[in-house]
Amino acid sequence: MKPILVEEVYQLSGPASISVPEGTSLQEVVARLAQDPELRAIFLVDSHQRFAGTIRRADLLKWLYFQLFGKLGVEKGSTGEIIHLAFATEAKDLARGDWRYFGVKTSDTIQDALERMITYGDAIIPVLDNEGKVLGDLRVTEILIKALEFGGTDQPPD
């Protein structure tokens, strides 16, 4: 059986992410999300336009809560986390992941993509070219759409 490749899946729906320079202020990131509530991911790019990380909505929510109320909320956090949130001003301050490990390439299989999604706990990951530049995003919903075409299997018929 032939494996399903990312290139067959990642453009089944429109994009659900934006790419911003890693030095973008967190206030601007919040404003962009507020303007387009359909966005599901914020990918950061470096000065060479390579993927430099992603901001999880949960991390952005923690930062926003801290900015508004001066505490972490219901969670108990370490002193290091409090200091981190207190001094975070740019997108890169909340980012995680890098282009060598976090994203997938169009030639990767859906199995590779799902493994990364599970490892990083994200339902959306960047699709990157060989230089690490963002081509688009891949969502678990797109994988589900493709899986339904084949009766829920991971593999299409030969």
Q: What pLDDT is recorded for position 9? A: 94
Place of tokens 């729906």: 13
Q: Judge contact between 144 and 121, C-beta under 8 A.
A: no
DSSP assigned state of 103: S
Span 97-140, pLDDT tens digits? 766 678 999 999 999 999 999 998 889 999 999 999 999 999 99
Span 18-68, pLDDT tens digits? 999 999 999 999 899 889 888 888 999 999 999 999 988 878 888 888 889
d(CA 39, CA 33): 6
Tokens of 148: 């339904």
Domain range annotation of the chain: 6-149
73: phi > 0 → left, psi -120 to 50 → alpha, else beta; which?
left
In CATH terms, the fold of domain 6-149 is: CBS-domain (3.10.580)
Span 56-98, pLDDT tens digits? 887 888 888 888 988 877 767 777 878 888 899 999 999 887 6
How many CB atoms are located within 10 Å of the residue 37 CB? 7
153 Cβ contact list (under 8 Å, min separation 6)? 147
∠ CA 24-25-31, nearest 5°, is 100
Task: Determine the distance from the C-alpha atom of residue 106 to the mean position of all C-alpha atoms in its chain, rounded to a whole number.
Answer: 16
d(CA 115, CA 139): 13
> What's the pTM?
0.83
